[in-house]
Amino acid sequence: MNKDQVKGRVEEAVGKVKEVAGKATGSTSTELKGTAQKVAGKTQAAYGDAKEQVKKPG
């Protein structure tokens, strides 16, 4: 597991927490920020996954 995979999954989790907190408090702004952070985390994790695939021989 590389640093992009780890950072991406952490960002995804933090974004999910913000999204849920925004829904719970009725804060659309927090909810949208959480959704954006979650998507960014998924993207970074996918990038890390792709890097790992390139490293694998054959």
Q: Rounded to 10 degrees, what is the CA torsion of 6, 8, 10, 13?
A: -140
Residue 57, pLDDT score: 80
d(CA 20, CA 23): 5
- The pTM of this model reads 0.88
pLDDT 10s digits, 18-47: 999 999 999 999 999 999 999 999 999 999
What is the distance of C-alpha 49 from the center of its chain? 13
pLDDT 10s digits, 5-17: 999 999 999 999 9
Whether the CB-CB separation of 19 and 49 falls below 8 Å is answered with: no
Confidence label for 58 from pLDDT (cuts 50, 70 and 90): low
Residue type, 20: V
